[in-house]
A and B are shown apart, each in its own frame.
Chain A
């Protein structure tokens, strides 16, 4: 699997979440994702970017266009140095929230992506990686 392009965007304010959505949509269009897949990855990115901001205290997202054989994909890695998640299984459970949200963001992002990986260390931060393939 080859990474053909990488860019990093900051997530520090609510406006950055909007910017991440717009950029992810542009990249999804660029690799030729269909309208439904575009909407899925943009929505997943929106959830994860807001988690990074609200629960991780801000961070960055790295967007990569990846290629495996003839298939193109979009991979997003959300990184924060926040408090981390002690119980990932619980956090992934639908309708569980430690804030005031619906508790569907993480599980939803997983269901909206082809690949989903989460790693977190309490006190160190959280990294979530998702990918959507054409």
Chain B
């Protein structure tokens, strides 16, 4: 008997048996992994997968990438995508499909009887098909993970480069984290655009959130300052902590810009330069407290 035909017959005729045996294996694996998937959900998923496997085989094809298996691939993709988001391990996800082998092989054995040449053909066909489906599941799983990572990367890039308007003509750019080249480009672009939009005279670059200032970071800072200057805005660098100051001196980096220890100091300088000052309207009194 042809491999696909035999397999179809077994999967369709013995669907209930295969599903129950598979569920038992899945449930055993589930308790070992802390029971992430709910049993009812697992039962539904297993039922759908087994019946769609039968439908796919009914098309008379053993090619897992063929059109007959499209609905099954879609189901498996959905399952692995949701598993990726729920934080399942790759092993758990791959095992979901791999563990279907055992019940299918057993069902083939029951249908053919041991020692039958058909059994070997059936096992090889089933093995090939399920391996390919498992790989497909893994591909979707990894793609979903990468999607999550990519989105987080974008979110971080956007989060960490806000330009804040402190007053008319005074901007602040609080830098956070590592200043690698890709992000520095975004930072520079955002700042220069904001200088145009806000008609800023002074931009304060705050590096309180930058853990390490080495020569590359210093060079990026100097380039940003030079570009801002060309656009008619002066820069003040603030948030230079004592240990960073000492390190920069040893490195031999000279920042030829006004720099201040805190953002507040830098803001005071910026106000003074633009002809403003902050005054107390009223002396603090006991009544006001």
Contact = CB atoms under 8 A, between A and B. Distances in A.
Contacts of A39: 212, 243-244, 246-247
**Which of A25, A42, A50, A104 has the most CB atoms of chain B within a 10 A radius of its CB?**
A104
A35 interface: yes
B216 interface: yes
Interface in B206-226: 211-216, 218-219
Q: Ordered nearest first, which 6 A-B pairs have the shortest CB separation?
A: A108-B251, A39-B243, A46-B214, A111-B250, A36-B243, A102-B215
A14 B219 contact: no
A19 to B, nearest CB: 11
B85 interface: no
A57 interface: no
A55 B212 CA distance: 21
A108 B216 CA distance: 12
Nearest to A106: B215
* Chain A interface size, under 10 / 10 to 19 / 20 to 34 / 35 or more: 20 to 34
Nearest to A100: B219
Contact of B180 (A14, A35, A43, A101): A14
A40 B214 contact: no
Interface of A: 14, 18, 21, 25, 35-36, 38-40, 42-43, 46-47, 50, 94, 101-102, 104-105, 107-108, 111-112
A104 B213 CA distance: 13
Chain B interface residue count: which class? 20 to 34
Contacts of B180: 14, 18
B156 interface: no
Contacts of A104: 215, 251-253
A43 B251 CA distance: 9
B40 interface: no
Contact of A111 (B181, B214, B218, B252): B252
B178 interface: yes
B214 A50 contact: yes
B150 to A, nearest CB: 14
A47 B247 CA distance: 12
A109 to B, nearest CB: 8
Contacts of B216: 46, 50, 101
A97 B127 CA distance: 59
B115 interface: no
B213 A43 contact: yes
B253 A42 contact: no
Interface string B233-270: 00000000011101100111100000000000000000
20 contacts: A39-B212, A39-B243, A39-B244, A39-B246, A39-B247, A40-B246, A46-B212, A46-B214, A46-B216, A50-B214, A94-B252, A101-B215, A104-B251, A104-B252, A104-B253, A107-B252, A108-B250, A108-B251, A111-B250, A111-B252
